[in-house]
Amino acid sequence: MGDSVSIETAAQAAALFKAALPKEQKEERVFVLPLDGNGRVLAKPILVSAGDRDGTATIDAGAIFREALKAGAEEIVVAHNHPSGDLTPSPADIAATAELDDLARRLGVVFLDHLLLGAGEDGGFLSLAETVGRE
């Protein structure tokens, strides 16, 4: 993507993630957006996992950070879609956010946010950093 695109808001990141989703959302998909230390996008959102038979995707912290570090990320935003359109974070979403934040600190990567994406282009999004907060 080059250094011309910078992420300053959750809405900007959500727009990039939504562009990476298929029009028909039948399964969850987990993405990581790698950024340099100034919030500039290093690559398009990287698909880390897709839903299994029941449509639920695993938020695998190891896979997320492997892909992010491979892209040279100093900062990351993670997102996954909720095909149902319900943006209420599950206990698993909240736990995954805490795990990602903890691992990022250990690796020296800035974890900016975990976004939940609604269905469709106008399905909205939810920032867990703004909603749940972090210590």
Rounded Cα gap, residues 28 and 51, in angstroms: 5
At 55 the pLDDT is: 66
- Give the pTM: 0.92
At 23 the pLDDT is: 79
List pLDDT tens digits, range 45-101: 999 999 876 767 889 999 999 999 999 999 999 999 998 889 999 999 999 999 999
70 vs 5 pLDDT, higher one: 70
Beta bridge partners of 6: 40
List pLDDT tens digits, range 112-128: 999 999 987 678 999 99
Of 33, 37, 38, 6, nearest in space to 19 by CA = 33
Element (H, E) at 10: helix 10-20
At 3 the pLDDT is: 44
Measured CA distances, 20 to 24, 38, 92 (Å) = 12, 22, 23
Confidence of residue 135 (pLDDT cuts 50, 70, 90): very low
